[in-house]
Amino acid sequence: MNETFEIPNGDETIMVELTVKEAMALSGGFRFRPESKVALNAKKKVQKVLDRKMIEGDPSRY
């Protein structure tokens, strides 16, 4: 079950503005208390930028 798939324009760059704490949380080297939601906020920021990029790149998704 080795299926390969290609992500269109997968090598393009995106810009996401994160705080130092958010970057640390996403890097996996640091743990924050769950109630601080640092990692959750960082993931939401990345997801928002990715969603915007994917919709922008594929006119059929409007």
Q: What is the pLDDT, as a whole number, of residue 1?
A: 60
Range of the domain at 45: 20-55
Q: Is residue 36 part of a domain?
A: yes
Asked whether residue 14 is domain-assigned, the answer is: no
Q: Is residue 43 part of a domain?
A: yes
Tell me the C-alpha distance between 22 and 40, whole Å.
9
Q: Is residue 11 part of a domain?
A: no
In the chain, the number of structural domains is 1
The 10s digit of each residue's pLDDT in 2-61 is 788 787 778 889 999 999 999 999 898 778 887 888 989 999 999 999 999 888 765 554
Judged by DSSP in three states, 57 sits in helix
- Cα–Cα nearest to 26, from 7, 46, 53: 46
Name the pTM for this structure: 0.71
